[in-house]
Each structure stands twice: as structure tokens, then as C-alpha cells.
Amino acid sequence: MLTILVVEDDKNLRKLMTAYLEQEGYKVITASNGVEALTIIDKHHIDLLISDIMMKNMDGYELVSSLRESGFTLPILMVTAKESFEDKKKGFQLGTDDYMVKPINMQEMLLRVAALLRRAQINNERKLVIGEIILDQDTLTVKTPEETYELPKKEFYLLYKLLSYPKKIFTRQQLMDEIWGMESEADERTVDVHIKRLREKFEHLHEFKIITIRGLGYKAEKYL
């Protein structure tokens, strides 16, 4: 099930958008401002973001800018009352993929969401390509020109998570919550063990490296 994050400070509109999206079969998580949204994105995999612009604490422009600067590539649909060309231009320059002006037609929103997901190949492609290396979610495999590695589920998801957001630092706790679940009784050393196994398997590859950030956690770097 694809997960959509709706960031909107109007409670009634947030509920309405959620209802329509859920009717289409999407899982919906909501936030009332950009700060809440960033916290959610750190803990959950989000396939698409729908965000208002005018919000307290952190507005939509700041949210989009922060995500793009951190390497997040998820599709973003901005929904706002600001309809001038300059407003739209600013949104697109910061990394917005599509734009809707309030009052919005819910059926049109659903069409735009579906189009953005198709464009991102999320519906059909559950693969991450790094040069000649392919990570395939359906088979839990890492394919190189020389060999195919079938990984245990947790190892694969850990590697996929890090490589999906290159240069972004994840704390051990964030990785635990995302991959093992917030209710897991495993401790953070479990992450270190899995990272060690991944390094042993893929240290010979030049396309990526997993880097330890002392006192914080881990990040991945791509070298293409």
C-alpha cells in the first residue's frame, strides 16, 4: 500500500483530503505544519507528499526546500491559495512536482496524485538503480554485473533505506523504528551488526559506501 503524507493546517480540509485518498486505497498520514511533517518523514517511508504553503512553524516552501536539500526525491504536490505566477515559480524552483490552487477539486487531486506516482514509477518499479547495480524490493536482491545477492529482509531494507536518501544521516534509533518497528525489543546494536554484514558483502563495490557518523548513526554515499 502506498503511503501519502498530507500536510495541511486546515483541519476540515485535511480530513476531506484524507477521506478521498483512503477511498482510493492509499494509506494516509497527516501533519498540520512542516515541522510535524519532517518528524513523520524521519520515521516512516512516504511515497508522495501533499503540502499546503501557508502554515505556522514551517511553511510549505521551507518544507520542500529542506526535503530536497536532504536528498529526498519523493513526488510533491503543493496545494495552496497562492495563485500568482511568482508563487508557483518559487514552488517549482524549490523542487515541487505539481501545483493545485484552492479551492481544489478532489477528483482532480486524485488524478494528479496518480499521475505523479506513475511518473515516479512507484506503482510499477520497486527498484533502486545505482549505476549497474539494481536493488529489487520484490526479490530482496542486489544485482551487480558479476553476481546476484539475495539478502535477509532486514538487511535489504536497511541498505535500501540508506541508498534511497544518499548523504542523509540516519540515527540508529530512526533506522530501528523504520525497519524493525517501534515496538521491537531489539536494541540499537542490532543496526551495527547488520551494517557490518552489509559492508562485508559490498565493500568491494565502488558505486556506494556506508559511512559511520560518529555519535550519530549512518549515511550512504553514492559514487557514480
Helix (H, G, I), strand (E, B) or coil at 202: helix
Contact yes or no for 53/78 (Cβ under 8 A): yes
74-78, 119-123, 175-179, 213-217: which range is least confident on average? 119-123
Q: What is the pLDDT of residue 84?
A: 76
Segments in the chain forming alpha helices (H) = 11-23, 34-43, 60-69, 85-94, 106-119, 153-164, 172-175, 189-202
Q: What is the pLDDT of residue 151?
A: 96
Domain 3-119 in CATH: superfamily?
A: Response regulator (3.40.50.2300)
pLDDT single digits (tens) 68-104: 888 788 899 998 887 777 877 888 888 898 999 889 9
Contact yes or no for 29/59 (Cβ under 8 A): no
pLDDT tier, 208 (very low <50, low <70, confident <90, very high otherwise): very high
Output the pTM of the full model: 0.56
R_g of the chain computed on alpha carbons: 19
Half-sphere exposure of 143 (CA within 13 A, CB side): 11
Where do the structural domains in the chain lie, given as residue ranges? 3-119, 127-222
What is the average pLDDT across 38-53?
Answer: 90
Domain 127-222, architecture per CATH: Orthogonal Bundle (1.10)
What is the average pLDDT across 168-179?
Answer: 86
pLDDT single digits (tens) 96-152: 989 998 899 999 999 999 888 877 764 445 788 888 899 998 899 999 989 999 999
- Do domains 3-119 and 127-222 share one topology? The answer is no
Q: What is the pLDDT of residue 125?
A: 59
Q: Could you give the percent of the chain with pLDDT greater than 90?
A: 50
If one counts every other C-beta atom within 10 angstroms of the C-beta of residue 53, the result is: 23
